[in-house]
Homo-oligomer: A and B are copies of this chain.
């Protein structure tokens, strides 16, 4: 009897273990930690990570849980590259060009002056070899990198005075970071970098004469339109693409279905952010135009555009001379853009010009 009871217990235990194993295989929860460059509740960029995580959670029926730490938590807005590389975080959300001081070639995967528009650049990433080039670069650093959301065309910035010639740029103090800042320096301006929280005061007190931020989507809340009447159209970041970073070890631990869920959630969140940015820019520009009807939208004159184009070309040649990989990416982008722009010119551009009365 005891023997039989033990046997029955054994069957029950085997049975319970089998059930648990089966449940574990199907229901094991994978937890990923993501660090983002943005502060808590930052609009649009922060919505992109929340959108991605929500899709991943819902599609995986709770098996893929992504927690998001904003910069308020991790205190290292520009440390995402290192934190994901080391495995301190499994994922990051930031922008590739923030790492150009560390790895100069990361510059090319965000947006380039006089470069591609958003659909052109997505074409390059997904159909024109861009993803493969980005993979080659980031795999050296133990990471995968994916497009993370596009801001659309960024505006050229807010200016206190009109720019009518290159002479007007000489000595002009402007907050404009990165590659575009180097171009501005080459044509005689004085680019500076100032923390976001101090920008309004710096512009108001004439510490700077001009600044660029993003576009109406994020400029409205900064209030620059209240103190600078000239809003210049964009040339330096025609399609700023943010970035999802994933640590390779963290990626490799995921089963194939969750890898695909994560890949698709990131891809959709990136596209969605492009559309969200477009929408927010439309709404906010309407608001600015209504409240501040005297704001003047200006485009830099041809002489200024030509000088900046020339400076840009020189800087690209210098960068290519230092890195064969940079040269390869530049060539890939230039070849792709040549064909894509020819199409843009006879499609969207021709359409927009032919239906606009003014």
Binds B, one of A6-14, A170-178, A188-196: A6-14
Contact of A299 (CB < 8 Å), options: B27, B343, B354: B354
Q: Within the assembled complex, what's the spacing in Å between the Cα atoms of A27 and B55?
A: 20
Residue A168 CB within 8 A of the other chain:
no
Note all chain B residues with C-beta closer than 8 A to A285. Answer: 339, 342-343, 346
- Flag A16-51 by CB within 8 Å of B: 1 or 0 each: 001100110011000000000000000000000000
| CB pair A268 B264 closer than 8 Å | yes
Q: How far is the CB of A302 from chain B (nearest CB, A)?
A: 8
Contact of A22 (CB < 8 Å), options: B23, B260, B339: B23
Note all chain B residues with C-beta closer than 8 A to A281. Answer: 343, 347
Give the residues from 192 to 231 in chain A that come closer than 8 angstroms, CB to CB, to chain B: 215-216, 231
| CB pair A345 B339 closer than 8 Å | no
| CB pair A340 B282 closer than 8 Å | yes
| CB pair A118 B117 closer than 8 Å | no
Note all chain B residues with C-beta closer than 8 A to A354. Answer: 233, 235, 299-300, 305
- Size of the A side of the interface (Cβ < 8 Å), in residues, is 82
Residue A246 CB within 8 A of the other chain:
no
Give the residues from 71 to 94 in chain A that come closer than 8 angstroms, CB to CB, to chain B: none
Note all chain B residues with C-beta closer than 8 A to A252. Answer: none
Contact of A59 (CB < 8 Å), options: B59, B279, B286: B59
Give the residues from 250 to 302 in chain A that come closer than 8 angstroms, CB to CB, to chain B: 255-257, 260-261, 264-265, 267-268, 271-272, 274-276, 278-279, 281-283, 285-286, 289, 297, 299-300
Binds B, one of A121-129, A133-141, A324-332: A121-129
| CB pair A339 B61 closer than 8 Å | no
| CB pair A126 B272 closer than 8 Å | yes
Residue A238 CB within 8 A of the other chain:
yes
Note all chain B residues with C-beta closer than 8 A to A114. Answer: 355
Residue A321 CB within 8 A of the other chain:
no
Q: Hey, which bits of chain A sit against chain B, CB under 8 A? A: 4, 7-8, 11-12, 15, 18-19, 22-23, 26-27, 55, 58-61, 114, 117-120, 122-123, 126-128, 152-153, 155, 215-216, 231, 233-235, 238, 255-257, 260-261, 264-265, 267-268, 271-272, 274-276, 278-279, 281-283, 285-286, 289, 297, 299-300, 305, 309, 336, 339-340, 342-356
